[in-house]
Structure 1
Amino acid sequence: MTEKPLILVTNDDGISAPGLRTLISVMNSIGEVVVVAPDSPQSGMGHAITLDSTLYAERVYMDDGPQIEYSCSGTPADCVKLAIRELLDRKPDLCVSGINHGSNSSINVIYSGTMSAAIEAGIEGIPAIGFSLLDYKWHAHFDASKKYVKTITKQVLKNSLPNGIVLNVNIPNISEEHVKGVKICRQAKANWVEEFDKRKTPQGKDYYWLSGKFVNLDDGKDTDEWALEQGYVSVVPIQFDLTAHQFIKNLNTWNLND
């Protein structure tokens, strides 16, 4: 009898997030599931890791599923590191992160704790996928996500991924019957135009709230932003080698040794 794949599940919205609970339920139909997730929301943490304080991981029992679960005091990247080095008895066959409450398309991938957890697994040579639903509400409806999460996960287990590549999957916030399918995309060129709302405490000290708007600067029809706007699930293969290989030849013409 073939051994079930060991699947590590994590997220950045916290151990009790409905998106994580949905992801766990789907993964339970595919393999043996171990969950290591933050004990509180860690959105926007990027690839932060804990260096100057203690880490805790506590066994928890959130529902009646067969999965083993740990609540971790650290960041999403911490969760993956701790799972691999301390909590699991063998290397996972797959790591899935999410389902994030909100978009991780385009430039959002840089800031995302969801995707950083997947990338951390990829660094360790584990095939990894980050899943996100374009709905920031805590009680978002994840039913339309289940079909695509399951299909993409099974395809990654079947075909694997090259070393250094992880998948960034974003799902539009529409009903399942209106999702047109899956598009393989590139990351759109976009950014956040940020503003700070400056206020004062009763003691007269300045403080700030970050706000802003997302601006898509890319009119290509092969991007994740275009696919999502058209009602498709976007799948972007991303890499954690940030080298601008195309610029190395040019840079070598600079006189940097004087």
Structure 2
Amino acid sequence: MTNKPLILVTNDDGIHAKGMACLVEAVSEFGKIVVVSANKSFSGMSHAITVKNPLYIKDMGEKDGVSYYVTNGTPVDCVKLSLHTILHRHPDYIVSGINHGSNSSTSVHYSGTIGAAREGCMNGVPSIGFSLLSYQSDADFSESMKVVKSVFRSVLEEGLAKDTYLNVNIPDTDNVKGIKMCRQGKGKWVEEFLERTDPRGRNYYWLTGHFENLEPEATDTDEYYLENYFATVVPCAIDATDAASLKENKNYEL
């Protein structure tokens, strides 16, 4: 085991999430596993970090050869604490998830699961975020674990391009047809806030809404393949520059 990779596992659904337990099981054959996760759900936290409150780490001990740590921080906090405080060296790989719910299309920008993978990539560690298209706490992750093993094995053998991380989504089915590398679909969340009144007469609001695919006819996107029961792998870049706009060579005058 000392010659095997050090793999950091984290998520945004919290230390007790079934999806993360399945992720640990799926990658355990590939190396030494260290789990660093939060004491509660931080879903939808994207790349948020904690700067106004102290962070705490609790060593939960080891079980079946896996070391567990729990924090009060966001998924990105978990990665930062792992890199700079918990681990004796940088991990060889970071895997995040398996998220309970989709992170396809523009949901990638809201996801704490993907935020953790992005943070790992920013620190030079090959990183992957995994998500299952089911929000059920007791979802069936058996097909997801097969996808995790296949994608992770590929990264282990072939590596990842510098400053690139993977966003992997898996359809909620007991028969995944295959795995497709593809582009991120264009879409948006159509949002509304439900207004209610608390016992003291104050109005409060719950964010609700639904996802709208803005290119339903496209056949080369993550949304298309997921609808057709394929797992999707979208390579994501740290550099957010729009290269096409740079080519326009606009001049801005003060």
2:194 pairs with 1:197:
yes
Aligned position for 1:155 = 154
CA distance in 1, matches of 2:191, 2:53: 31
Aligned position for 1:246 = 244
Unaligned runs of 5+ in 2: none
Aligned position for 2:213 = 216
For normalisation by structure 1, the TM-score amounts to 0.95
Q: CA offsets per residue over residues 202-236 of structure 1, 9 Å max, x none?
A: 32222111101100011211100000000100000
Q: CA offsets per residue over residues 58-79 of structure 1, 9 Å max, x none?
A: 11148x4211110011000000
For normalisation by structure 2, the TM-score amounts to 0.96
The letter for the 1-side match of 2:21 is: R
CA distance in 1, matches of 2:61, 2:137: 21
2:112 pairs with 1:113:
yes
Percentage of pairs with the same residue:
49
Q: CA offsets per residue over residues 40-90 of structure 1, 9 Å max, x none?
A: 10000010000011001111148x421111001100000000000111111
Contact 1:182/1:235, CA 8 A, preserved across alignment = yes
Aligned position for 1:207 = 204
Offset of residue 240 of structure 1: 1.9
CA distance in 2, matches of 1:214, 1:108: 9
**Relative to structure 2, which stretch is displaced further, 22-31 or 109-118?**
22-31
CA distance in 2, matches of 1:183, 1:100: 19
Q: CA offsets per residue over residues 115-161 of structure 1, 9 Å max, x none?
A: 00000000000000000000100000101111110111011111111
The letter for the 2-side match of 1:257 is: E
2:225 pairs with 1:227:
yes
Number of residues of Structure 1 aligned to a counterpart in Structure 2: 253
2:249 pairs with 1:257:
no
Q: Which runs of 4+ in 1 moved over 4 A?
A: none
Aligned position for 2:95 = 96
Q: Secondary structure at the match of 1:107?
A: helix
CA distance in 2, matches of 1:25, 1:2: 19
Q: Secondary structure at the match of 1:144?
A: helix
Unaligned runs of 5+ in 1: none
2:86 pairs with 1:87:
yes
Aligned position for 1:13 = 13
The letter for the 2-side match of 1:51 is: V
CA distance in 2, matches of 1:41, 1:230: 30
